[in-house]
Amino acid sequence: EILIFQPISEEDQLQIVDIMIESLRGKLVEHGIDLELSEAAKSWITSDGFDREYGARPLRRSIRKNIENPLSTALIKGDFDNGDRIYVDLVEEKIILEKRTKYESIGI
């Protein structure tokens, strides 16, 4: 039997990224750290991690390479502490991680 899959829409790709990031966020919350992604970062991860041939499977690799690995290194170095909010953004076509206060994140 042959199964034909429909291409994944960009909206579906963004939802998949949200689900994967929510899983990472859950792990960080256990350590008192919150994670927030800009729309630009989310879109970039989606385009970097999507392949027409393999669908959304490479998204996990893109999140690991661009967010999880640098975040792990930063945590080991002590760049982020319990209670911090990590803001993931796209600057000059590169994913960056920056420490934010909860007030910066809500615009106060």
Domains and CATH numbers, the chain: 10-106 (1.10.8.60)
| pLDDT by 10s per residue, the chain, length 108 | 887 777 788 888 899 999 999 999 999 998 899 999 999 999 999 988 887 777 778 899 999 999 999 999 999 999 998 889 999 999 999 999 999 876 555 554
Q: Which residues pair with 95 in a beta bridge?
A: 90
Contact (CB, 8 A) for 14 and 43:
yes
- Give every CB contact of residue 80 below 8 A, 6+ residues apart in sequence: 33, 71, 74, 86, 99
- Beta-carbon-side half-sphere exposure of residue 78 (alpha carbons within 13 Å): 0
| This model's pTM is above 0.85 | no
